[in-house]
């Protein structure tokens, strides 16, 4: 029993560290492509994308262009990897949350991040980030399902 509590405490610690890293990467890390140079630009210079799959398609197409490949990989892979831990950690620490709760949490957290970026102008609002983040959480949940039987 004590071992289970220690593990749960360690997972909670990992979750809190994970959230801190997400906040830093999304709002404070200047080197992570927050310029929005690919998105639609408003009259006041702020960039956004409200069209689902628009930027995903553009980034996938740009993978074949050497000078844009790194930015495409960073955007696509980064948004997926950013939420992969959420999909694994949430059902680990909140045992009753399940698949639907994990996915809804990912959508809500990602939407909160994007809306914060929209209103604070720290970053670029991109509906495709919500899609990619949720996909990352899905992969994390699948990883949770694979590892859970191994742990038991």
Residue 138: what pLDDT? 99
Residue 151: what pLDDT? 65
pLDDT, tens digit, 9 for 90 and up, residues 103-120 = 999 999 999 999 999 999
pLDDT, tens digit, 9 for 90 and up, residues 31-69 = 665 555 555 656 577 788 999 999 999 999 999 999 999
Overall average pLDDT of the 74-92 stretch = 97
Residue 74: what pLDDT? 94
> 51-83: string of b/e by CB count within 10 Å (b at 16+)?
eeebbbebbeebeeeeeeeebbeebbebbbebb
Residue 45: what pLDDT? 73
Is the pLDDT at 128 greater than 90? The verdict is yes
Give the separation between CA 134 and CA 129, rounded to whole angstroms: 8
Cα angle: 90, vertex 93, 94; to 5 degrees: 75
Which residue stretches of the chain are H helix?
A: 2-27, 54-62, 66-93, 98-120, 127-151
Looking at the DSSP assignment, which residues form a beta bridge with residue 48?
Answer: 40, 125
Answer whether 131's CB lies under 8 Å from 80's CB. no
Give the separation between CA 35 and CA 123, rounded to whole angstroms: 7
Give the separation between CA 108 and CA 49, rounded to whole angstroms: 18
How many CA atoms lie within 13 Å of 22's alpha carbon, on the beta-carbon side? 21
Overall average pLDDT of the 130-152 stretch = 93
**pTM, two decimal places:** 0.90
Cα angle: 87, vertex 8, 129; to 5 degrees: 20
């Amino acid at each position: 029993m004590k071992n289970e509590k220690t593990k749960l405490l360690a997972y909670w610690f990992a979750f809190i560290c994970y959230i801190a890293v997400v906040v830093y990467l999304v709002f404070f890390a200047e080197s992570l492509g927050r310029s929005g140079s690919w998105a639609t630009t408003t009259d006041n210079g702020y960039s956004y994308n409200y069209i689902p799959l628009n930027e995903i398609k553009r980034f996938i197409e740009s993978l074949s262009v050497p000078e844009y490949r790194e930015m495409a990989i960073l955007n696509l892979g980064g948004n997926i990897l950013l939420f992969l831990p959420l999909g694994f950690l949430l059902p680990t620490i909140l045992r009753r949350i399940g698949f639907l709760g994990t996915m809804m949490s990912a959508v809500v957290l990602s939407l909160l991040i994007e809306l914060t970026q929209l209103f604070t102008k720290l970053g670029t609002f991109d509906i495709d980030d919500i899609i990619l983040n949720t996909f990352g959480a899905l992969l994390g949940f699948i990883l949770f399902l694979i590892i859970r039987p191994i742990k038991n």
